[in-house]
Amino acid sequence: MKKVLYLCSALFILSAWNILDTPKRRFVDVAGIDSTIKPGDNFFRFVNGRWYDTVKIADDQSGVGSYSFLNIPQKQLLQTILDSVSKTKNTMGSIDQKVGDFYASGMDTITINKRGYQPVAPILARINAINSVPSLMKFVADEAKTGNSSIIGFSISPDNKNSGINIAHAYQSGTGLPEKGYYFKIDSSTLHAQQAYKKYISTLFQLTGSIPAASTRNAAICYNLEKQIAESHKSNIELRDIKANYNKIAISSLRKTQANIGWAALLANLGAKTDYIDMAQPAYYNKLNALLRSVPINDWKTYLKANTLINYAATLSKPFVNASFEFRKVLSGQATQKSRRQIITDDVDNYLGQALGQLYVKRYFNEDAKKRVLVLVNNLQKSFENRINHLDWMSDSTKQKAKEKLYSITKKLGYPDKWRNYDRVQINRNRYFENVLSLNQNDYQVQLAKLNKPVDKTEWGTTPSTVTAYYNPSFNEVVFPAGILQFPYFDFSADDAINYGGIGMVIGHEMTHAFDDQGAQFDKDGNVKNWWTKEDYEKFKAKTSQVVNLYSSFTVLDTVHVKGPLTLGENTADNGGIAIAYDAFKMTEQGKGSVKIDGFTPDQRFFLSIARIWRVKTRDAFLRTYVNTNPHSPAMWRVNGPLMNFDPFYKAFNVNEGDKNYKREDQRIKIW
């Protein structure tokens, strides 16, 4: 489990328009509306029905729309930058050179294919040389520093109870399937994923020279060991328990309880000088300690080889890339692979994100967007304060603390004030694999340098070109990168109803994360500390349990339901985000008026915009995986769920008893 960070990375755009190019267009897709569906029956389908029934999902995608899928125009902008800088002779050491040469090295498939698995051969040789548990753990530590993580999940981030200092954290790790349940469920889709995973591991061994029979045995050894590891894992729902996943332990106390892991030596090999560590999931490390003693060393070596090949498959020759895709398409439903340009563009964004972000902002970002969105953020903050003041379930003392936290939120828009430095990174135009290792090593050293140091709250947790938004409770901040400040979320030429229903809803969503079931446990300074009265917190928990029950009732596919406990935080934020954005919209001139545009009232356009930003269609395989692993509800329920609880929506679209999504007023859930 990583530090809680509400990355709403599902906010991808499919509009071909950039904010710098804003010709007049209709912001409500009238042609996409299905007027045969009543708004009160299914508002998502009412707004998006015709689009949904006619749009085709590309073979190299698992879905289409403005949700968690490839933002083709956005990626094309990045590809245009990369095509340019990779074909230009740039000054050695410059951002352009590093970004351009890294992209070129990834596009050089002739060299990559010619090398086969030679880049990982030295790593496999080091695994062969392991002859004891201490030497195994030294290998694990050495490889973690180059991005080849396995049985130790290690990171540096703020202390939950002292958010001004970065400390060492250890998280559960060691498995290759999406989450714990994939090793134990016996439904047909899970069994299919298990078999595909075993076949994938077997194929990787065959590609490195093992005969089929030996490869199958190796895959079984690896899978069975992972299944034992998974027994100790917490589920995704259990990982949401903030307090249960914080366990600060002195290293000295682990010498006896987890002697086989050898924490003192492990941390020394990791270069981490610390007397204590936050062991988020102790049960995992207790199990690992026992397995290091009971599992034969040769089985561990087989496991480490499989783990290494899985970690690096995408950076090796085409047979390895193909094997990786054959497994992952079982989880995504994707029919064909993305183009090499798409894949390497994503790699550059992942590995050199702030370098590429500088080039993106310089070419495409409109600084005026930053100013205008800041106005929206401030308006929503005022709207949220007003809603807190009028809560009928919260005492005045808790309201005061809530408002103090609200106005302590840091707002980050567009891009960092201080860019990350990549001066120590060496990029070789002809060595893609080595470039990945160099970037991983640099990332590790950058993180390691933070250990036991004050937290730099100017840092960003995403890249400027990424179409996303997030709330970070340890920093008590909301972040809106340049990538999201464009249509359909935001547009200079759009009326307020569209912008408040778009980026306004997203802003309100992120602010509400400061007060969802997890965020509410952090104070205004980012520490896990109670600021509630006992009575108020009990009322709050009762209201959140209503959210869990409502969303658990939503059917996604046949017998598959939304996981209410897993999605509680995001669902709370969706419900709060719409309410806060609506109140802020009603402060505008358009919100106070009744002038129709395209035949719709201001309120109707606000709600139409909300349904538009979650427009998406996915493959069933992807949706099954999504429901099992993602803390967000699927798109349809991100629209219909909050709206069935929101009184102004009923009035705007004349929703009445008898409509499928109608809820009596006393049954509508209202938290923030």
Query: In this model, does residue 492 exceed pLDDT 90?
Result: no
User: CA torsion 625→628→632→638, rounded to 10°?
Assistant: 80
Q: CA Rg, the chain, in Å? A: 25
Which of 329, 340, 326, 334 has the alpha carbon at shortest distance from 57?
334
State both tokens at 496: 């307020």
Q: Letter for the amino acid at 457?
A: K
Local structure of residue 383 (DSSP, 8 states):
H
Neighbouring C-alpha atoms within 13 Å toward the C-beta of 174: 31
Distance separating alpha carbons of residues 257 and 255, to the nearest angstrom: 6
The pLDDT of residue 2: 42
Are 18 and 77 in contact by the 8 Å Cβ rule? The answer is yes
State both tokens at 42: 């299914």
State both tokens at 365: 């970002």
Cβ neighbour number for residue 134 with a 10 Å cutoff:
14
Neighbouring C-alpha atoms within 13 Å toward the C-beta of 531: 23
Local structure of residue 564 (DSSP, 8 states):
T
- Average pLDDT for residues 368-374, to the nearest whole number? 90
Local structure of residue 597 (DSSP, 8 states):
B
Identify the burial level of 542 via C-beta atoms within 10 angstroms of its C-beta, where 0-12 means exposed, 13-18 middle and 19 or more buried: exposed
The pLDDT of residue 9: 39
Partner residues linked to 155 by β-bridges: 169
Are 357 and 81 in contact by the 8 Å Cβ rule? The answer is no
pLDDT above 70: percentage of residues in the chain = 95
Cβ neighbour number for residue 181 with a 10 Å cutoff:
16
> Quick one: three-class SS letters along 501-525?
HCHHHHHHHHHHHCCCCCHHHECCC
Q: Where are the alpha helices (DSSP H) in 19-71?
A: 43-54
State both tokens at 336: 């064909």
Per-residue burial over 486-500, b = 16 or more CB atoms within 10 Å of its CB, e = otherwise:
bbbbbbeebbbbbbb
State pLDDT tens for residues 14-55. 332 333 333 445 788 888 899 999 999 999 999 999 999 999
pLDDT band at 13 (very low <50, low <70, confident <90, very high): very low
Query: In this model, does residue 76 exceed pLDDT 90?
Result: no
The pLDDT of residue 368: 87
Distance of CA 237 to the CA centre of its chain: 16
Distance separating alpha carbons of residues 494 and 17, to the nearest angstrom: 13
The pLDDT of residue 67: 61
Residue with tokens 């005061």: 400
Whether the link from the prior residue into 488 is cis, omega within 30° of 0, is: yes
Are 533 and 402 in contact by the 8 Å Cβ rule? The answer is no
Distance separating alpha carbons of residues 56 and 70, to the nearest angstrom: 14
State pLDDT tens for residues 608-649. 999 999 999 999 999 999 999 999 999 999 999 999 999 999
Distances (CA, A) of 138 to 251, 283, 432, 506, 552: 17, 22, 26, 45, 45
State both tokens at 70: 């490839």
State pLDDT tens for residues 574-598. 999 999 999 999 999 999 999 999 9
State pLDDT tens for residues 150-208. 999 999 999 999 999 999 999 999 999 999 999 999 999 999 999 999 999 999 999 99
Local structure of residue 600 (DSSP, 8 states):
B
Identify the burial level of 543 via C-beta atoms within 10 angstroms of its C-beta, where 0-12 means exposed, 13-18 middle and 19 or more buried: middle
pLDDT band at 346 (very low <50, low <70, confident <90, very high): very high
Beta strands at 63-65 and 153-159: parallel, antiparallel or unpaired: unpaired
pLDDT above 90: percentage of residues in the chain = 89
Distance separating alpha carbons of residues 448 and 530, to the nearest angstrom: 30
* Architecture in CATH of 135-296: Orthogonal Bundle (1.10)
Partner residues linked to 411 by β-bridges: 478
Distance separating alpha carbons of residues 616 and 71, to the nearest angstrom: 12
The pLDDT of residue 7: 46
Distance separating alpha carbons of residues 217 and 195, to the nearest angstrom: 14
Q: Letter for the amino acid at 366?
A: N
Are 466 and 486 in contact by the 8 Å Cβ rule? The answer is no
Distance separating alpha carbons of residues 289 and 204, to the nearest angstrom: 28
DSSP notation for 639-664: HHHHHTT-HHHHHHTT--BTBTT---
Q: What is the rounded average pLDDT for all residues in the chain?
A: 94
Distances (CA, A) of 246 to 160, 163, 258, 474: 8, 13, 18, 13
- The CATH class of the 63-70+366-417+457-667 domain is alpha beta
State both tokens at 265: 């030596």
The pLDDT of residue 369: 86
Are 273 and 451 in contact by the 8 Å Cβ rule? The answer is yes
Local structure of residue 420 (DSSP, 8 states):
P
Which of 533, 574, 542 has the alpha carbon at shortest distance from 394?
533
Query: In this model, does residue 10 exceed pLDDT 60?
Result: no
Domain residue spans in the chain? 63-70+366-417+457-667, 135-296
